Amino acid sequence: MFELMVGTSIISLLITMVGMTLILLALRILEVIIRRINIGEALIIILVPFSIGYFLRVPSNGVIKKIYRSLIILFFVLLLLGSFFVFYMQK
């Protein structure tokens, strides 16, 4: 049972790290390409950390933004699941 918990937390942390960096960055780039945003705004959308530039500069309508929000929630849940092992080891 302990091995299952360790394995689940490690896999969920790896999915979160890779997913948050690659998938969310790809969605930001795709949004910039589809909306044909100028280079200054595009750099803000793509490079500002924690999706702040994305949520400030991109209008709230669109399929990509809905997917982006749902993926952020999914990655947050996976991050919480992965952090359970860390909290368990501190106890």
Q: Which residues contact 46 (CB under 8 A, 6 or more apart)?
A: 25, 28, 29, 32, 53
pLDDT of residue 19: 86
- Domain spans of the chain? 2-90
pLDDT tens per residue across span 50-60: 899 999 999 88
How far apart CA 40 and CA 38 sit, in angstroms, is: 6
Question: pTM score, two decimals?
Answer: 0.83
pLDDT tens, residue order, the chain (91 aa): 778 888 888 888 889 989 888 999 999 999 999 999 999 999 999 999 989 999 999 988 889 999 999 999 999 999 988 887 777 777 6
